[in-house]
Amino acid sequence: MRSFSPRRRGEGARRADEGLRGVSTTTVCVVARGSPSSASLALGTFSPPSRGEGKIATTTDIAAVSRRLRLRAIWAWTFFASAVPAVIVGQGFVGSSERLRDVGAIMALIFWLFGMIPAIAATVAAFRHWDALPDRVRFLAVSPLLAVSFSFSLGVLALVLA
């Protein structure tokens, strides 16, 4: 048995005259099934959400969030790995002037700072969508910042114990 139940004002549907300025609204007809034997028909208006609405990811865009997190983590690891050859080259100039040794250290610091930007961005975004992300993506997103904090901890321990 089919029944018609239009949405009333205040039940989540916007009327055409209540839409956002400059945004077109579309009338939609929805058939919702409550059980296999009954269906209800709802007629209402739909307008797309404005900017800023829906900040938490839904299940449909978790794949996009995962791709962004993987990309940020990979860029962070790439910059951190690029700092290592710069330090090795800087230490290779030990017999030469002090100015050449400083170039390698400065380049390593620049690579490391550029690596911190996507590392922090990936970690913050991973914490924001923590419950919806798969475990592998969670670990990959926070791993660059975990590695940096671990190396800082080792450095502090080396200074304290020395």
Do 83 and 41 fall into the same domain? no
Least confident stretch, 9-13, 76-80, 89-93: 9-13
Q: How confident is the model at residue 138 (pLDDT cuts 50, 70, 90)?
A: very high
Our CA dihedral for 63, 68, 72, 77, rounded to 10 degrees, sits at 30
Instruction: Please tell me which residue, 101 or 52, carries the higher pLDDT value.
Output: 101
Owning domain of residue 135: 62-161
Q: How many domains does the chain have?
A: 2
Q: Report the run of H or E that residue 66 belongs to, with start and end.
A: helix 62-92
Instruction: Please tell me which residue, 95 or 62, carries the higher pLDDT value.
Output: 62
Cβ 32 vs Cβ 55: under 8 Å: no
The pLDDT of 33-52, averaged and rounded, is 49
Do 74 and 18 fall into the same domain? no
Instruction: Give the model's pLDDT for residue 85.
Output: 87
Do 137 and 96 fall into the same domain? yes
pTM above 0.85, yes or no: no
Our CA dihedral for 102, 103, 104, 110, rounded to 10 degrees, sits at 110
Instruction: Give the model's pLDDT for residue 3.
Output: 53
Burial level of 128, CB count in 10 A (0-12/13-18/19+)? Answer: middle
Residue 46 has pLDDT above 50, yes or no: no
Encoded amino acid at 91, one letter: Q
Do 80 and 144 fall into the same domain? yes
Do 99 and 24 fall into the same domain? no
Do 132 and 99 fall into the same domain? yes
Do 8 and 68 fall into the same domain? no
Do 73 and 34 fall into the same domain? no
